Structure 1
């Protein structure tokens, strides 16, 4: 489902999709392994919005780009937990949005997370990509649907990777969030009614009115409803909250959490 890529010289470690596409599509999520950040942010913190020393963050970014030959990139989103997907063009740089797409080579789509779900998508022809920041708010508000629509591709030709996020065993939500998702799932008209709200999506916790939510499962439902075959959806096999040596987690560490970065681009 996913694979781990290590660079012994730098100590950096990436999580990448194990999908049947050529090396022309580069896609991965960073971990906190390696890097210059110290203290609470120890490792490869990618987030300038954190309380980390910005010089360390920039050193981390420089190290990652050099180690893995990432094309120079100054396009970043201002992630606001929205449902907006924008093309990677200069006029939309730093836009308040949570997904970006492009059909240009050597043009990475970059998403920052620390428990939220990174969704990386490309097509069979390997000529268009999108990176999506799918926290529960964005997921509920159809960020995946809007991003797939922007690609204008046959869903049968799309390949999806669900990067490291908080897993069900750690993702506790309230009844109001559960109810919102349960209702939204009833509108997934391309799925049989019996398949729209699987019982195992939400498991009651020991706290009254609280549930453990499966964000990976919720995303897969949306993707399947769009017509993307389940056999072409990869990943969903890590838990950022439960693996502090490898991942940053905002729910675990709050303002002391760094940020992971997810990249996807078409290589020249």
Structure 2
């Protein structure tokens, strides 16, 4: 992250400090049933993997989630729609964020370079998960999610999950322009690359948004999904390094948070 970005707590999800009644999980690419190029814990049904393998992988993930009975999956569309979980889980709504105050139901988002954002009330009464690709982040998906929560922003803690890092996320000038038009200080999250391209710091841009909203308790896993091929799926890595016929074909990881039932 750029040196101008305010310091945040650097930690994996296993190290993130949560209230006793709340739990969170970040999946990794290994340990599942899927074959290449989805090897092996692919959790996305929309990427071309065999559905029965994906369902098996999802069941394996749920088995690790103590106090959780249901994972609310989303059909992510790089937008800003926020889905409120209720006592009757809905089949894959079109949304890029979910909010819950119901124990036992997990908010989850899938990524393979985009930024997962998990949010928790300090008292453990409310949780949220956000899928923040550059477009959703620029359009305000984090703001929409926090506005949808009943907990005041200064009583929230936020975790930014692994995503494509600033040394590998090359974007065009239109992406930089969109963020700079929103806030001039976002210029510091872009470094010049080659041929009118820019390297973008996705986590840094998210931190800027969170600070502008008044969030102060921010943690982040700074590992790059592109560089850590043994740990993470990466759409852009698959696009750059895979066979042309499999351009961008890869699996999806999940980041989930829930209020534990009977906690």
TM-score, normalised by the number of residues in structure 2 = 0.88
Higher RCO (CA-CA < 8 Å; seq separation 6+) = 2
1:202 aligns with 2:202: no
1:267 aligns with 2:260: yes
Per the TM alignment, residue 18 of structure 1 is displaced from its structure 2 partner at its CA by 2.5
TM-score, normalised by the number of residues in structure 1 = 0.86
Per the TM alignment, residue 202 of structure 1 is displaced from its structure 2 partner at its CA by 0.5
Over 3 Å counting, the alpha-carbon distance change for 1:70 and 1:113 in structure 2 is: farther
Is the contact between residue 17 and residue 234 of structure 1 (CA under 8 Å) also seen in structure 2?
no
Unaligned runs of 5+ in 1: 4-15, 187-195
Q: Distance in 1 between matches of 2:45 and 2:159?
A: 25
Is the contact between residue 36 and residue 59 of structure 1 (CA under 8 Å) also seen in structure 2?
yes
2:233 to 229, 238, 248: 248
Q: RMSD value over aligned CA atoms?
A: 1.6
Unaligned runs of 5+ in 2: 1-9, 240-247
Q: Which moved more, 1:91-100 or 1:160-169?
A: 91-100
Q: Distance in 2 between matches of 1:93 and 1:80?
A: 15
Q: Could you say which residue in structure 2 is the equivalent of 1:86?
A: 83
Q: Deviations over 1:134-156 (max 9, x none)?
A: 00010010000000011122211
Q: Deviations over 1:148-207 (max 9, x none)?
A: 011122211110000111110110000011011011114xxxxxxxxx3353x10111x2
Per the TM alignment, residue 17 of structure 1 is displaced from its structure 2 partner at its CA by 5.1
Q: Could you say which residue in structure 2 is the equivalent of 1:56?
A: 53
Over 3 Å counting, the alpha-carbon distance change for 1:220 and 1:238 in structure 2 is: same
Over 3 Å counting, the alpha-carbon distance change for 1:124 and 1:178 in structure 2 is: same
Is the contact between residue 165 and residue 240 of structure 1 (CA under 8 Å) also seen in structure 2?
yes
Q: Could you say which residue in structure 1 is the equivalent of 2:200?
A: 213
Q: Distance in 2 between matches of 1:114 and 1:185?
A: 27
SS in 2 for 1:221: helix
1:106 to 104, 107, 110: 104
SS in 2 for 1:197: helix
2:16 to 19, 41, 46: 19
Q: Could you say which residue in structure 2 is the equivalent of 1:175?
A: 173
1:2 aligns with 2:11: yes
Q: Distance in 2 between matches of 1:247 and 1:98?
A: 20
Q: Distance in 1 between matches of 2:145 and 2:66?
A: 27
Q: Could you say which residue in structure 2 is the equivalent of 1:128?
A: 126
